[in-house]
Amino acid sequence: MMKAVLKYILPFVLLVVSCAKEPEPGVVEPAPLQKTVHYRATVEADAGTRATVDDNLKYVFEAGDQIYLESEGGEMYGFLSLSQASDAGKTLAFFEGELTCAEDFSPVAATGVSLVLVGRDDEIHVSEGGKLSGIDYGGKKATSLKEAVRSLSHFTASGKFGDLHFTLSQQSSFLVFSFQFDEDQVESGTRYRATLYNAYDNAEARTELYSCSFETREEEDGGIEASWVAGFAGNTALSGAGLVLRKDGEEEDLVLRMNDNTLAASSYYTFQRATFMQDYLTVEATQPSTEVTFNKATNNGIQYSLDGYDWKNYERKITLTSAGDKVYFRGKGTTYQHTGNSSGLLSVNKASYVYGDLMFLMCNEKYKAKKVIEADFAFQRAFYNASWLLLSEDPGKTLKLSATTLSTGCYFEMFQGCTGITKLDNLVLGDAPLTERCYDSMFYGCKGLLTVPDGFLPKTGLALACYRRMFYDCQNLETVPADLLPATVLAPCCYMNMFFNCYKLKAGPDLLAREPAAGCYFSIFRHCKAIGYVKCLLEVSQEQMNSRTNPDTKVYDDSAAPSPDKLGQWTVVSAWSVFNKWLDDVPNTSSCEFVRNPNTTYPRGNSLVVAIPTNWIVTPPQ
């Protein structure tokens, strides 16, 4: 609350004297005799108010500010102005001026007075005949909260003429309107009228609280937006309120509901809406009494909504009463990395669908989804062991990873242990260039996964270990498209252990690259006991073929898969690094087929390199 101190200065009284007489017929009676009182005051601002014009939560006085003072009976009134130019920009300033008094009125110390601060850019106070006659917010608006405090504030005080201290308090409240529009439907510069009603749904009781016109604009970070600040009398109640937006030249209205609230004086409120439903991260219940807990809310600015429009700060578990009920999430986090064995982002007690854009957990200050993942391993184990998680088959309910720039390991082990995932048709990985380990172990242990859709991994520019262990231990995965891995240029360890323990996989994707990279196919089909077809077009040099033992003994041993922290150290390309264990423990029958590059003779198995099982049909023939 802003405070101000007025120090009483002994007034200098100037009497204006004239001779009184009876008015002659037809002559206008002169105005009552008046006198003036010179008055000087000191006003000191305090930091208690949230409505502010500087960065320290204080009202700082500016050249042009005035204080209007009036006695309780109206016999004395006038404006005091800054008496020293040097006081501008300070929280303590001197004001002085002439107060007009009726001739028969002389103030005493006990005379009641009221004060109003009339700011430099004031737009709401109405003056007439030297008196402040009213206040009118009248649909006015400001472009920022700071501008609104300058132009739409009503600071008042009351006390006694002889008091040494007066307290100025902010009587206005401010409502910050902020909207996002569908850029496919609304252009920059589109004009709207916004009208706020109370009791909107009751035609008889409906009352208009505020109305103004505005134009949409294109923001630097993309999208069509509009925002402004409106002033209201303190303690204005919003009850059954609806904000109506009408585009110029159209009859149809867009009605945005507002929560019931009382706009307290000396406070500001934000009403922020998308005028269209955005693709927020969503959990949809499939059963009644579904409980949803967001585990990573601390320091991430997480908010939730039950309708996608009204948002609240997340504090505790949310219960979805009926099947089909939804809760939407958005946040301002930069990382949600999870390294433990407990639940990741969410804990849900019953099977539920997850869809929407994951990047709404990485929003800017206006809750617009960012496109860049900055922190390494930002979504590591995001849905770790979320056996409750289902991917919807409704094409309108896809889970999107829309970032255009990825970080190292950003989706590492993201869905590990999500046994409820059976298909990936409604998971969109986006078009971002691949980074080191970005999809490493993404579906590790998804034992319910049966198939992978066409076009699921379209990228051809690979990175170190980008798909390492991606489908590791997906024990019921049966089919993947032949063109799943279209890259013709490999990266070290890019497909290492990719289908390890996929016991039911019947045929691997075509491996089209002709030049090998260190560790590129290491254990890729290991323990794929049902696999019966592999196409590999690698053209391996004789020198690489001759190197059937581990040339990187200082980096790796032969007993186990390489540790992740040493992947970048593996640089030697050899038959060992490419083919070691890549078809280990697969069928050894003549019904299986290996299609090879006709310019290369691949090694048959030995104790260190298991390249092609002995009884497989190899075409073209060796």
Residues of the chain with pLDDT under 70: 1-33, 45-58, 605-608, 622
Contacts of 380 (CB under 8 A, 6+ apart): 337, 338, 339, 409, 410, 411, 412, 413, 414
Q: In terms of domains, do 158 and 43 share one?
A: yes
Check residue 436 and give its pLDDT: 98
For residue 4, the model assigns a pLDDT of 38
Gap between the Cα atoms of 583 and 527, Å rounded: 7
- Separation CA 137–CA 301 (nearest Å): 33
Give residue 163's pLDDT.
84
Distance of alpha carbon 221 from alpha carbon 202, whole angstroms: 40
Contact present, 504 and 452 (Cβ < 8 Å): no
Task: Look up residue 284 and give its amino acid.
Answer: E
Judge whether 562 lies within some domain: yes
SS3 category, 132: strand
Q: Report the distance separating Cα 588 and Cα 277, nearest Å.
A: 55
Domain count, the chain: 4
Do 159 and 179 reside in the same domain of the chain?
no
Does a structural domain hold residue 472? no
Structure tokens at 296: 């990573």
- Report the C-alpha dihedral over residues 575, 578, 581, 587, rounded to 10 degrees: -90
The C-alpha atoms of residue 32 and residue 25 are separated, in whole angstroms, by 18
Q: Are residues 142 and 82 in the same domain?
A: yes
For residue 299, the enclosing domain spans 280-432
Instruction: Tell whether 257 and 303 lie within a shared domain.
Output: no
- List, as one string, the DSSP characters of 541-608: -HHHHH--S-S-TTT--SSSPPPGGGGGG-----HHHHHTTTTTT---STT-EEEE-TT--PPBP-SS
Phi, psi dihedrals of residue 166, rounded to the nearest 5°: -125, 145
Write down which residue in 250, 274, 298 finishes a domain.
274
Is residue 480 one of the residues assigned to a domain? no
Confirm whether 464 is domain-assigned.
no
As given in the structure block, the two tokens for residue 9 are: 């200065």
What is the pLDDT, as a whole number, of residue 17? 32
The owner of tokens 């970005």 is 438
Query: Rounded to an integer, what distance in angstroms lies between the CA atom of residue 343 and that of residue 445?
Result: 15
- Domain end, chosen from 170, 193, 219, is at 170
Rounded to whole angstroms, how far apart are CA atoms 243 and 239? 12
Same domain, 103 and 119: yes
Same domain? For 48 and 191 the reply is no
Phi and psi torsions of 141, nearest 5°: -145, 160
Tokens (6 digits) for 505: 């996989």
User: What is the spatial distance between Cα 97 and Cα 519, in angstroms, rounded to a whole number?
Assistant: 86
Q: Are residues 288 and 217 in the same domain?
A: no
Q: Could you give the 3-state DSSP secondary structure of residue 63? A: coil
What does the alpha-carbon distance between residue 90 and residue 62 come to, in Å, rounded to a whole number?
A: 8
Same domain, 73 and 97: yes
Q: Would you say residue 446 lies in a domain?
A: no
Sign of CA dihedral 392, 412, 364, 290: positive
pLDDT (0 to 100) of residue 20: 39
Q: pLDDT at position 342, please?
A: 78
What pLDDT does 47 receive? 59
Instruction: Please report, for the domain that includes residue 186, its CATH number.
Output: 2.60.40
Query: What is the number of alpha carbons within 13 Å of residue 523 lying toward its C-beta?
Result: 21
**Residues pairing with 575 in the sheet:** none
> What is the β-pairing status of strands 533-536 and 593-596?
parallel
223 and 337 assigned to the same domain: no
Same domain? 295 vs 270: no
109 and 250 belong to one structural domain: no
pLDDT value at position 6?
33
- Please give the Cα distance from 485 to 507 (Å, whole number): 13
Order of strands, edge to edge, in the sheet holding 66-71? 12-15, 34-44, 92-102, 76-82, 66-71, 112-118, 155-160, 169-170
419 and 514 co-located in one domain: no
Domain membership flag for residue 568? yes
Query: 275: which 2 tokens?
Result: 């005028």
Structural domain contains residue 469: no
Predicted pLDDT at 16: 32
In a domain, 317, yes or no: yes
Boundary-marking domain end, from 274, 308, 335:
274
